[in-house]
Amino acid sequence: MKNMIGAILFLLLLVQSAIGQKSILPPVPVFQWDDDQLEMELPDPEWLIEEGTQSLSVQDLQSGNLKDSKIVTGANPMNVTHNQPYWYKILLRSPVGNRLEKLSVNQIGGNGAFIPTVKEVRAYFLLDGIQVDQGLSGIGIGNSRRDVKHLFYPSLIDFDIPKDTTLTIWLKVISEQDFKGRFTTRWLSHRMDPTSRIMPNQINQMIKGSLIFMLLIGLFLWFWFREKVYTWFILFVIVNLIAVFLWSDANALIDYFFPERPIFFNLIMGWGDMAKFLVTILFARVFIDTKRHFPKVDKILVVSTTIFFTLGFIMTSTYSVQVHRGIVVPVWIALVSIVVIFGYFIFSGNKLARFYSIAAITPFLGILWVVLSTALGLDSIKQFGGIFIGLGPVLALGLAMVYRFKIVNEDKLKAEHATKKLLTEQNAELERQVDKRTSELSKSLDDLKSTQAQLIQSEKMASLGELTAGIAHEIQNPLNFVNNFSEVNTELLEELLGERTKEKEERDAQTENELLRDIHENELKINHHGKRAEAIVKSMLLHSRTSTGEKELTDINALCDEYLKLAYHSFRANDISFNADLKTNFNPDLPKINVIPQDIGRVILNLINNAFQAIAEVEKPEMVVSTKNLSDKIEIKVSDNGPGIPDTIKAKIFQPFFTTKPTGQGTGLGLSLAYDIVKSHGGELIVTSSIGAGATFTVSLPAA
């Protein structure tokens, strides 16, 4: 009998299958709404219908005609395939009738993480088996087609529920990505603003204002110090500010730029989080100066960050499970490496590294706040976690910047103190070396002065030697006259004495008078030539005498005339064939001026000697010595018609030891000493010359 009953039931099942897959769906509990609540989490569906190749309608579901679809039960979490429609049923009942209630359908991963990738949600509302309304939402549905345009709740659907009536809701859900988890449904009261669950407006504005204030501080510090670390701080604040604006104003942005592609919101949020992560790491490298303080760790950090950011960017840009499975391991390895590195920074002993690492983890405090407040049912304070997430890193790292400023200043003060100490020691050592070098330089200077004096004296003696050789003949002439007339006078005196020894009657008075007259005339000549020799000797003595350095009123015309003659006779003594047309053009009204006569005489003699040497080979040598009164100064010019001086030589002619004479024929000090003497008198010595047109040396001396 039992076997017969079993066979009959089996046949009935086959017939049922043959006539259209009629199924009796498992029962669904009725969820009673508590009107005191703003939102309630509905029980997760205990079963879902995985739609097959044949589409299902609400009528099919109501009648149990599943076609080639299948019921998925007992799998929580379950494997959800992207673009695969899933159906599940909800029964709602409310003691009061409400309008514009809302349903929010979401995806939760196996680890409890929220996955905002519900591509499409279609809701069908039935009363007593009759469809009364339907709704459409999801991140794959454009704003023009969805019930509620809200990116933080991308699958919101409006509905009305009558009082004390059971409302049947069939939900058709399609996921954008493969995942292992479950679908969840929340009932939101019409009295609740969905945006308030994200971040209250006051908190949002406070975070924005605080970030803008931090940005202004960063800009001020950058303009003041112009350091790289402040540039990165500004970039860090800007990225966080953009992220906050996206979270609070993404609805308007997406609605304006991509109204029919709300899925871009997920991409932008993902990219924003990656940008925040990247700039936090890069800022850390500059703030801590990891390249200098932790060179090996810095290399690992760069590699890990590159891997995490690149693969993380791919993960946030695609919903392919295959892609995620392929890169999730290296992503986690890179992330763990970064976390370990920051943990190492905390315990490294480097104050800046520790402070930055602690500041960087403040967003995790915000996440922990949200998790704990949710677990404890403290929804009223849960929103404050957004402060930690949005503002915490910037404020904490702002404090880190202040701390860094303090540390850097302390290091600078220590460095300055060490530098001052080092400078003091170096200055003391330098002073010792300077004293030693000064002593050596003083000795060298004394030696140099002594050598210079010897050179000057050598130049004087060389000049004197030339004069002595040249004027020997000039001195000899008057001496010869003196000797000759002295001998004649001796003979005349003997003759006179002879006449005087005669008897008075025999003496010839006329002869005596003639002898006396001749003797007198000879004495005058002896006196004249003696004075001439004396003058020559005095001139030589004046030239050779060491200068006293005292100025006296001097007749420049007489000085020029005397040294012209002295130099000429000296030059002729060396070259008897030398003859020159000597001209003087002395200003008779030239006043006497205060000079050191010996020094100015040497200047004039040197210029005249140089002129004689210049015209020695000229066919018709000429030289002019002139003086001029220019009221505030007097001018002495020595001009010749020699070959002239090239410009290349003119530029160096007054330099010490410069000479164009053959080796051994000049010291090169003559014009240099002349230049120094004129300068010491407050005057000026210049030369004008051109090739083939002779040369003119001009000495200007103050008249007063």
Mean pLDDT, consecutive 10-residue stretches, the chain (704 aa), reads 38 39 74 73 85 88 87 71 86 76 72 61 88 83 69 68 86 81 77 52 69 80 78 81 70 62 65 77 80 85 83 69 64 76 80 75 66 62 61 69 74 82 85 83 75 60 56 65 75 76 73 77 76 66 60 87 81 76 88 86 86 84 89 89 83 72 61 84 88 87 83
Opening angle at CA 597, ends 682 and 611, nearest 5:
85
Q: Give me the half-sphere count of Cα atoms (radius 13 Å) on the Cβ side of residue 470.
A: 22
Q: Are 193 and 57 in contact (CB under 8 A)?
A: no
Helix (H, G, I), strand (E, B) or coil at 142: coil
| 323 burial via Cβ count (<10 Å: 0-12, 13-18, 19+) | middle
Cα gap 695→610, rounded to integer Å: 10
At 105 the pLDDT is 81
Element holding 414 (H helix, E strand): helix 392-500
Q: Are 240 and 207 in contact (CB under 8 A)?
A: no
| Closest residue by Cα to residue 687 from 614, 617, 638 | 638
Helix (H, G, I), strand (E, B) or coil at 181: strand
End-to-end CA distance of the chain: 160
At 197 the pLDDT is 47
Q: Are 302 and 262 in contact (CB under 8 A)?
A: no
Listed by start position, the domains of the chain span 23-197, 201-390, 456-702
Q: Are 674 and 660 in contact (CB under 8 A)?
A: no
Residues 6+ apart with CB under 8 A from 190: 98, 99, 100, 101, 102
Backbone angles phi, psi at 72, to 5 degrees: -105, 120
DSSP conformation class of 194:
G
The single residue listed with the structure tokens 């001396």 is 701
At 73 the pLDDT is 72
Q: Are 309 and 273 in contact (CB under 8 A)?
A: no
Residues 6+ apart with CB under 8 A from 354: 345, 346, 347, 348
Topology annotation, domain 23-197:
Immunoglobulin-like (2.60.40)
Residue 689 pairs in a beta bridge with 695
Q: Are 369 and 349 in contact (CB under 8 A)?
A: no
Neighbours of 111 (CB within 10 A): 8
Neighbours of 55 (CB within 10 A): 11
E strand segments, 241-325: none
Helix (H, G, I), strand (E, B) or coil at 287: helix
Q: Strands 30-32 and 85-93: what pairing?
A: parallel
Q: Which residues of 150-184 are buried (b: 16+ CB within 10 A; e: fewer)?
A: bbbbbbbbbbebeeeebbbbbbbbbbbbbbebbbb
Provide the residue type at 508 as one letter.
Answer: D
At 305 the pLDDT is 82
Q: What is the pTM of this model?
A: 0.44
What does the H/E/C string look like for 7-74? HHHHHHHHHHHHCCCECCCCCCCEEECCCCCCEEECCCCCEEEECCCCCCCHHHHHHCECCCCEEEEC
User: Which CA distances in Å does 276 have to 230, 246, 404?
Assistant: 17, 13, 21
Q: How far is CA 89 from the centre of its chain?
A: 68
Q: Are 526 and 486 in contact (CB under 8 A)?
A: yes
At 17 the pLDDT is 39
Q: Are 176 and 119 in contact (CB under 8 A)?
A: yes
Q: Strands 114-115 and 684-689: what pairing?
A: unpaired
Element holding 593 (H helix, E strand): strand 593-595
What is the side-by-side order of every strand in the sheet holding 622-629?
Answer: 581-585, 622-629, 633-640, 695-702, 684-689
How many residues comprise the chain?
A: 704
Backbone angles phi, psi at 659, to 5 degrees: -150, 150
At 269 the pLDDT is 67
| Closest residue by Cα to residue 151 from 39, 274, 266, 41 | 266
Q: Are 479 and 533 in contact (CB under 8 A)?
A: yes
The dihedral through the CA atoms of 229, 231, 237, 239 has a sign that is negative
Q: Is 456-702 the same fold as 23-197? A: no
Cα gap 267→200, rounded to integer Å: 24
pLDDT one-digit tens code per residue, 472-511: 656 666 777 677 777 777 877 777 777 777 777 767 777 7
Q: Are 139 and 152 in contact (CB under 8 A)?
A: no
Instruction: Give helix then strand counts, H and E, for the chain.
Output: 18, 20
User: Which CA distances in Å does 185 have to 75, 92, 317, 684?
Assistant: 17, 12, 26, 108
Topology annotation, domain 456-702:
Heat Shock Protein 90 (3.30.565)
At 87 the pLDDT is 92
Q: Which two tokens stand for residue 365?
A: 């405090």
| Closest residue by Cα to residue 562 from 592, 595, 594, 538 | 538
At 5 the pLDDT is 38
Q: Are 347 and 294 in contact (CB under 8 A)?
A: no
User: Which CA distances in Å does 149 have to 83, 114, 264?
Assistant: 22, 19, 14
